[in-house]
């Protein structure tokens, strides 16, 4: 199996990560890994802990306890800076882009290419923006690096955010519900970008509510339930999106349907 291959590079691994807010455990001991070149689908109901997990991966929230390993090496003092150094970039929903600005300005925002006396290397930025747009599969002839992001569709905006993450040297791009507000056509665009990113050897953690979306794009699924991993399965181990949905309904309402797999408290692999 690909993910068990000893040659696979482990980008990041979380071990027994807990996060409590007062008496409430948002995460109650989560194990999660992302390897190079895979798309991991993270799913779970409202309040399952998805956002908390993303915030921990991006270093904006400190875990209460647990271990974080980058390329198999434990990291102490995990922070937003450490997360960036590890090549992790998160595209947070809604807050990602300045819609009144051009694509090129959005890609380089905060990291402008400057030369002598701090002058912007505008031509270099445009060249680089075109290259990034091509790399992620931005095939629309209508849009150039000068297009205003507000004129782009939802899926294309996700593409700009992904291009920006790649410019920031991301090895792992975390997409927080990137298709939630999108039509089928726009979702297909985002999937196209995600597949391009995977083909370039980068990894994606794809968070979603819509199991069908996650099912179509992910190589591996991780189901969170009330702060714990209830299931982790490779694509080949799950027959259909319905099987995943049934499983999630079963963990939400235990004792409902017989014959479904469970992993117990630690969230080990099923089977
Ligand atoms: N800053 C906070 N203070 C207190 N409780 C919090 C805080 N952040 C999250 N929680 C709690 O932790 C649990 C997990 O929340 P989280 O936002 O991670 O879930 P989620 O899976 O992202 O849900 P959703 O699908 O609704 O976005 C929830 O019970 C939530 O109320
Ligand atoms: Mg959330």
Closest Cα partner for 97 from 88, 105, 87?
A: 105
Q: What pLDDT does residue 74 have?
A: 96
- What values do phi and psi take at 244, rounded to 5? -65, -45
Cβ count near 136 (within 10 Å): 21
Q: Is 62 in the pocket of ligand 1 (CB under 6 A)?
A: no
pLDDT at 122: 81
* Exposure class string for 251-268: b at 16+ Cβ within 10 A, else e: beeeeeeeebeebeeebe
Question: How far does the centroid of ligand 1 lie from the alpha carbon of residue 114, in Å?
Answer: 40
Band (pLDDT 50/70/90 cuts) for residue 92 is confident
pLDDT tens-digit series, residues 2-42: 445 667 899 999 999 999 999 999 999 999 999 999 999 99
Question: Residues of the chain with pLDDT > 90: what percent?
Answer: 62
Rg over alpha carbons for the chain, rounded to the nearest Å, is: 19
Phi, psi of 83 (to 5 degrees): -60, -45
> With bands split at pLDDT 50, 70 and 90, how would you rate the model's confidence at 261?
very low
Ligand 2 centre and the CA of 50: distance in Å? 5
Q: Predicted confidence band at 260 (pLDDT cuts at 50, 70, 90)?
A: very low
Note the pTM of the prediction, 2 decimals. 0.87
Residue 183 phi/psi, 5-degree rounding, is -75, 175
Atom of ligand 1 lying closest to residue 26 CA? 12
Q: According to the model, what pLDDT value does residue 1 have?
A: 45
pLDDT (0 to 100) of residue 197: 94
């Amino acid at each position: 199996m690909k993910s068990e291959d000893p040659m696979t590079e482990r980008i990041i691994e979380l071990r027994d990560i807990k996060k409590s807010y007062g008496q409430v455990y948002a995460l109650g001991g989560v194990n999660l890994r992302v390897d190079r070149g895979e798309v991991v689908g993270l799913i779970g109901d409202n309040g399952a802990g998805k956002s908390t997990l993303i915030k921990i991966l991006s270093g904006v929230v400190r875990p209460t306890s647990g271990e974080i390993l980058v390329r198999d090496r434990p990291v102490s003092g995990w922070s937003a800076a450490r997360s960036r150094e590890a090549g992790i970039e998160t595209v947070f929903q809604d807050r990602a882009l300045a819609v009144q600005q051009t694509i090129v300005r959005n890609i380089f925002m905060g990291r402008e290419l400057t030369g002598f006396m701090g002058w912007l290397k505008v031509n270099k930025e445009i060249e680089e923006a075109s290259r990034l747009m091509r790399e992620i599969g931005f095939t629309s002839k209508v849009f150039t690096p000068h297009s205003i992001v507000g004129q782009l569709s939802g899926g294309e905006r996700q593409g700009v955010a992904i291009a920006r993450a790649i410019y920031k040297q991301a090895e792992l791009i975390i997409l927080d519900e990137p298709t939630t507000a999108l039509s089928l056509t726009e979702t297909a665009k985002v999937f196209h970008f995600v597949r391009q990113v995977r083909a370039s050897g980068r990894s994606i953690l794809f968070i979603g509510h819509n199991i069908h979306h996650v099912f179509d794009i992910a190589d591996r699924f991780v189901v969170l339930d009330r702060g714990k991993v209830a299931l982790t399965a490779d694509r080949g181990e799950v027959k259909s999106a319905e099987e995943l949905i049934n499983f999630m309904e079963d963990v939400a309402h235990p004792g409902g349907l017989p014959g479904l797999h469970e992993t117990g408290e630690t969230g080990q692999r099923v089977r």
